[in-house]
Structure 1
């Protein structure tokens, strides 16, 4: 059994509450006194192991931490979702659309196993590629807001580039990503060369699933990311793995072992049909040269 058996909403809620408390300069004891709860209760809440999550406690903590309206609404929504054992989270009434639940999980993960069918994953995007996507996705925002979003996406990439314990990535890209033009041909050429270069890092394995591979496993598999959170100080699992499945109408966070097993199998089938690491780099650089010729 894992050391911590918390659902996604609980652990996300705890992580954000801990960050808010630390930013406010309060200790667990001081914050607990202010909401008239025990220190152990708040500690369990921050660890994502509380048996019961009280929305009133979360609202009170947001007030004493001076959380903004968006954050308060998001954490209140997470508190409500925490009552559900396993959840399909749709960004709608409970969580504001501009509050990214996934990023909290990403920041805590030790490894990512993923398959992408349309776009280069955010952790591997160049600034120009990211900027082109952000301008399309947020057309009403100002250039300043676009720049901030690009900066945030670039900052996320320190997860895989930092010197100490960089996160591990095992990525498969469908070949269509190499030909989908985002931001223009020069942007694509630079992006593809970046992928080829970054795939030489020891913590990153990047493979291309070619068009000729057909349909591995015999069924359609959309984009997914399996996040693993590593091991605790006593050697046990730090947190249960999560399969993140984004979609246009709502994102899913799957925790049950049988769901994770199915995605493990899907990734295994896709990986077995993909090009090896060296051939994948060659394919990326070849596609980059084709964009260069067309510039």
Structure 2
């Protein structure tokens, strides 16, 4: 998977620029949509980076917003063309829901991920056998073929942190319960924990023990903070996103206030977690003692 294969980031960059250009001329979505012969909802999705946009529509919006700098126009058209390229994960359309498709796109564009998992390991770290065992629990009705496709998708996602050229950096905290909740039997758990203890240098793993209680004051549930790096001017390439996965559905937060709250929660959890060396020692100890062959 090439490092810049995701079309999500250019789509979000283009959407943000178009929104800022619209706001700069004091126009709202209701003003612009009729001029473009688009619905307000479609224009909103374009600005939020949820869907692509044709080059002629980019040029039309530039005229409406008074953007006449040839360099700026060319840059926006370039982003639109990048966003039109097929995503690598589209080959997994049969096993990726529309909601999770958005997450995979964000994840593949991320430069840094901050992850808290009090329940199970994220797909970024799962061994194939752990992934299959989870799917047998949560999706007993699907065929083995579908399970295998889902496992292949997870393996492809993991290139984000294992590739040799500019892998994403990850700070991961897992609750001790994740290590002690058997999935797939002793052999599967032993291999899974050994992989977790031997992550590459760009991934730090910390364990929140049972004795730490609730450092954030409440049980936050699992969450991931995705950051996308900065451009040449030092501005975020794309707004930071908090992804919250739940049984009832997924939530994406971008407001600075919401992102800040989750950063504070993560910092509190991290301060109460074991350091990296002690975490690795505990993980290996559990693997060797509690999941013997």
CA distance in 2, matches of 1:149, 1:11: 28
Task: Report if aligned partners of 1:228, 1:240 keep a CA contact under 8 Å in 2.
Answer: yes
- Equivalent residue, structure 2, for 1:179: 180
- Equivalent residue, structure 1, for 2:10: none
Note the C-alpha offset of 1:44.
5.7
Q: Deviations over 1:16-35 (max 9, x none)?
A: x48xxxxxxxxx65xx4xxx
- Equivalent residue, structure 1, for 2:114: 113
Q: Give ranges in structure 1 of 5+ residues lacking alignment.
A: 19-27, 49-60, 62-67, 72-94
- Equivalent residue, structure 2, for 1:269: 268
Task: Report if aligned partners of 1:129, 1:182 keep a CA contact under 8 Å in 2.
Answer: yes
Instruction: Specify whether residues 185 and 264 from structure 1 end up closer, same or farther in structure 2 by C-alpha distance, changes over 3 A only.
Output: same
CA distance in 2, matches of 1:270, 1:45: 43
- Equivalent residue, structure 2, for 1:76: none
Q: CA RMSD in A?
A: 3.1
Task: Report if aligned partners of 1:171, 1:205 keep a CA contact under 8 Å in 2.
Answer: yes
CA distance in 1, matches of 2:205, 2:150: 25
Residue correspondence of structure 1 range 157-196 to structure 2 within 5 A: 157-196=158-197
Note the C-alpha offset of 1:45.
9.4
TM-score (norm 2): 0.71
Note the C-alpha offset of 1:231.
1.1
Structure 1 position 13 matched with structure 2 position 12 = no
Task: Report if aligned partners of 1:12, 1:101 keep a CA contact under 8 Å in 2.
Answer: no
Instruction: Specify whether residues 132 and 38 from structure 1 end up closer, same or farther in structure 2 by C-alpha distance, changes over 3 A only.
Output: same
Instruction: Specify whether residues 9 and 222 from structure 1 end up closer, same or farther in structure 2 by C-alpha distance, changes over 3 A only.
Output: farther
Q: Deviations over 1:230-286 (max 9, x none)?
A: 112433210010111111112111111111111111001000000000000000001
Task: Report if aligned partners of 1:117, 1:223 keep a CA contact under 8 Å in 2.
Answer: yes
Note the C-alpha offset of 1:221.
1.5
Residue correspondence of structure 1 range 27-106 to structure 2 within 5 A: 29=55, 32=56, 37=57, 39=59, 41=61, 100-106=101-107
CA distance in 2, matches of 1:8, 1:134: 32
Q: Deviations over 1:140-190 (max 9, x none)?
A: 222222111101110100000111110010010000000111111110010
Instruction: Specify whether residues 154 and 40 from structure 1 end up closer, same or farther in structure 2 by C-alpha distance, changes over 3 A only.
Output: farther
- Equivalent residue, structure 2, for 1:134: 135
CA distance in 1, matches of 2:273, 2:100: 35
Report the secondary structure of 1:106's partner residue: helix
Task: Report if aligned partners of 2:127, 2:192 keep a CA contact under 8 Å in 1.
Answer: yes
CA distance in 2, matches of 1:256, 1:12: 15
The structure with higher relative contact order (CA 8 Å, sep 6+) is 1
TM-score (norm 1): 0.70
Task: Report if aligned partners of 1:12, 1:105 keep a CA contact under 8 Å in 2.
Answer: no
Note the C-alpha offset of 1:47.
5.3
> Runs of 4+ in structure 1 displaced over 6 angstroms?
5-9
- Equivalent residue, structure 1, for 2:216: 217
How many residues are treated as equivalent by the alignment? 232
Task: Report if aligned partners of 2:114, 2:171 keep a CA contact under 8 Å in 1.
Answer: yes
CA distance in 1, matches of 2:47, 2:136: 33
CA distance in 2, matches of 1:8, 1:259: 21
